[in-house]
Amino acid sequence: MSEIQVNLDALSALAEGVRTAQGMLGDLEDNQPWSADFTSGSKSAHRDFKGKWDERRDQLSDGLRSVADALEMIRDSFDQTEDDLVATLNGEGDGG
């Protein structure tokens, strides 16, 4: 018989790490790590870059949120399945 082992703590830690990365990405929104005097051409290029970066950062943040949510759902599902199996083995389950 095959045995499935899932490290629920590792899944929780991974989800937390992804949420931390998502938060750090969000913190970049208002941070301007550089300061420079731009010419009119470079101001336009900077503005275009910043607009595209904001859009991509939002997409990446949404993706990270989805990954963290999925990891938490996987952890919860395995945890619930284990509880149900233990209850069934102990004669406490409802059989369905």
Written as tens digits, the pLDDT of the chain (96 aa) is 678 888 999 999 999 999 999 998 877 765 555 556 777 778 888 788 888 988 898 899 999 999 999 999 999 999 999 999 999 999 986 655
Q: Identify whether the C-beta of residue 22 lies closer than 8 Å to the C-beta of residue 62.
A: no
Number of other residues whose CB lies within 10 A of the CB of residue 14 = 17
Judge contact between 71 and 11, C-beta under 8 A: yes
Q: What is the pTM assigned to this prediction?
A: 0.73
> pLDDT at position 32, please?
59
